């Protein structure tokens, strides 16, 4: 029986490793495409006929039922836009969001009523305090949604110049804009999943037949980032007038970095004004006590000894 030489064995194992790696990458891209396709197929502008089917767990179903009862199964366009910009694309998101607000409002009223009814204050004051106790939790989801939107927008604005630079390098090397966009989406996803997912979803819309300008406008609307609106307008103008895409992308990335530097300088200039309040409230009283304390003690001792 012949023994397989080490060179042949190494070659076979290397070939199998490359095949396995290639298959894993293809399966990963297929899973991402399936996820993006499912997000595209969600009808996020209809009523709540799909809401009950989207909320499978018990608590979500309960919250969705409360939200549907209060909102009569309809969500405003503003609420849809805010939820999408915060990263909630499910058809049941508005109903769950409304249900959480109502639940917090009722819980705040109940807790405030239990605590305040024992206080010896006038009835009108009790009613006002109970109302405030219910209103404060009611607006907590609004604050959370605002912070979530700001976090996503800040992440996109932070990594967008690097993404534009990568697109410009790919375009300068002769790769088409759509292919460059797809390649950069896969690469940028490793450092910024938010920007990578949005770019991949935009590229998927283009592959499905949507116009590039319209797909990028939708991307800007989903994220709320003004820089993406500027990028979409720049690419539209480039296609319309036939100018160099690589040069336009290079100038756009440079302008974004300059704007970020100006914003940092502006924030640094504002910092001196913002520090006045903590200095007056916390630092100056301590300094006055340390400087004038011994003198005041000496004066009191002199007055008491003289009397």
Look up the pTM and report it: 0.64
| Domain end (from 94, 109, 138) | 138
**CA 300 to CA 307: how far, in whole Å?**
11
285 lies in which domain range? 277-306
The pLDDT, as a whole number, for residue 78 is: 84
Q: Is the pLDDT of residue 306 over 80?
A: no
Question: Both 161 and 258 in a single domain?
Answer: yes
The string of pLDDT tens digits covering residues 160-174 is 888 888 888 888 888
Q: Which of 114, 138, 162 is the last residue of a domain?
A: 138
Mean pLDDT, to the nearest integer, of 255-282? 85
Torsion angle, alpha carbons of 56, 58, 63, 66, to 10: 100
Q: Are residues 185 and 262 in the same domain?
A: yes
User: Residue 288: inside a domain, yes or no?
Assistant: yes
Is 191 contained in some domain? yes
**Do 253 and 164 contact (CB within 8 A), yes or no?**
yes
Backbone angles phi, psi at 80, to 5 degrees: -60, -45
Same domain, 204 and 244: yes
> Which pLDDT score is estimated for 9?
61
pLDDT above 80: residue 16: no
Longest alpha-carbon distance in the chain: 119
Tell me, yes or no, whether 87 lies in a domain: yes
Domain boundary among 138, 159, 189: 138
pLDDT at 8 over 80: no
165 and 243 belong to one structural domain: yes
Within this chain, do residues 117 and 80 fall inside the same structural domain, yes or no? yes
**Of 99, 45, 105, which Cα lies nearest the Cα of 75?**
45
Q: Indicate if 258 and 286 belong to the same structural domain.
A: no
Predicted pLDDT at 42 = 53
Please state the rounded mean pLDDT for residues 174-194: 86
Interval 107-150: pLDDT, tens: 888 888 888 877 777 878 878 888 888 888 888 888 999 999 88
Smallest CA-to-CA distance from 68 within 55, 86, 83, 58 is with 55
Asked if residue 108 lies in contact with residue 135, where contact means CB atoms within 8 angstroms, the answer is: yes
107 lies in the same domain as 176: no
Higher pLDDT, 265 or 57: 265
The more confident residue out of 307 and 85 is 85
3-state helix, strand, coil split of the chain in percent (to 5) is 80, 0, 20
> In the prediction, which pLDDT does 147 show?
92
Task: Report if residue 121 sits inside a domain.
Answer: yes
148 compared with 9, residue with greater pLDDT: 148
Calculate the dihedral angle through the C-alpha atoms of 190, 198, 40, 43, rounding to the nearest 10 degrees: 130
Q: Which two tokens stand for residue 130?
A: 């109970």
Mean model confidence pLDDT for the chain: 79
Residue 15 lies in a domain: no
First and final C-alpha spacing in the chain:
119
Cα gap 157→17, rounded to integer Å: 38
Regarding whether 256 and 299 lie in a shared domain, the answer is no
Instruction: Tell me the per-residue pLDDT of 76-111, one tens digit each, with 9 for 90 and over.
Output: 778 888 888 888 888 888 888 888 888 888 888 888
Considering only CA atoms, give the Rg of the chain: 30
Same domain, 78 and 60: yes
In a domain, 9, yes or no: no
Whether residue 292 lies inside any domain: the answer is: yes
Whether residue 208 is found in the same domain as residue 233: yes
Does residue 244 share a domain with residue 282? no
Residue 170: other Cβ atoms inside 10 A: 21
**Same domain, residue pair 64 and 84:** yes
pLDDT of 73 over the 80 cut: no
* 45 within a domain of the structure (yes/no): no
Q: How far is CA 271 from CA 262, 266, 275, in A?
A: 14, 9, 6
Count of structural domains, the chain: 3
Locate tokens 């490359």: which residue?
Answer: 18
Whether the CB-CB separation of 97 and 71 falls below 8 Å is answered with no
pLDDT value at 46 more than 50:
no
Q: What is the pLDDT of residue 175?
A: 85
Residue 189 has pLDDT above 80, yes or no: yes
C-alpha 188: how far from chain center = 16
């Amino acid at each position: 029986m012949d023994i397989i030489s080490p060179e042949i064995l190494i070659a076979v194992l290397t070939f199998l490793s490359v095949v396995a790696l290639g298959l894993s990458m293809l399966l990963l891209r297929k899973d991402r495409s399936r996820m993006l396709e499912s997000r595209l197929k969600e009808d996020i502008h209809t009523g709540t006929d799909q809401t009950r089917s989207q909320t499978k767990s018990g608590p979500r179903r309960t919250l969705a039922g409360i939200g549907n009862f209060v909102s009569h199964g309809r969500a405003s366009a503003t609420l849809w836009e805010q939820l999408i910009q915060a990263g909630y694309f499910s058809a049941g998101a508005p109903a769950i969001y409304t249900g959480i607000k109502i639940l917090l409002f009722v819980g705040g009223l109940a807790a405030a009523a239990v605590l305040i009814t024992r206080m010896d204050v006038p009835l009108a004051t009790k009613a006002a305090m109970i109302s405030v106790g219910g209103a404060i939790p009611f607006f907590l989801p609004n604050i959370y949604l605002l912070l979530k939107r700001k976090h996503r927008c800040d992440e996109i604005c932070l990594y967008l110049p690097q993404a534009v630079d990568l697109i410009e390098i790919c375009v300068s090397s002769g790769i088409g804009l759509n292919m460059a966009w797809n390649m950069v989406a896969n690469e940028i996803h490793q450092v910024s999943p938010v920007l990578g997912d949005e770019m991949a979803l935009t590229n998927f819309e283009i592959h499905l037949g949507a116009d590039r300008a319209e797909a990028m406008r939708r991307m800007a609307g989903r994220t709320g980032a003004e820089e993406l609106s500027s990028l979409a307008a720049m690419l539209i103008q480039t296609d319309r007038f036939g100018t160099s895409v690589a040069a336009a992308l290079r100038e756009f990335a440079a302008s974004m970095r300059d704007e970020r530097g100006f914003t940092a300088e502006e924030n640094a200039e504002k910092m001196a004004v913002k520090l006045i309040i903590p200095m007056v409230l916390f630092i100056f009283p301590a300094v006055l006590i340390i400087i004038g304390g011994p003198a005041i003690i000496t004066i009191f001792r002199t007055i008491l000894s003289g009397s």
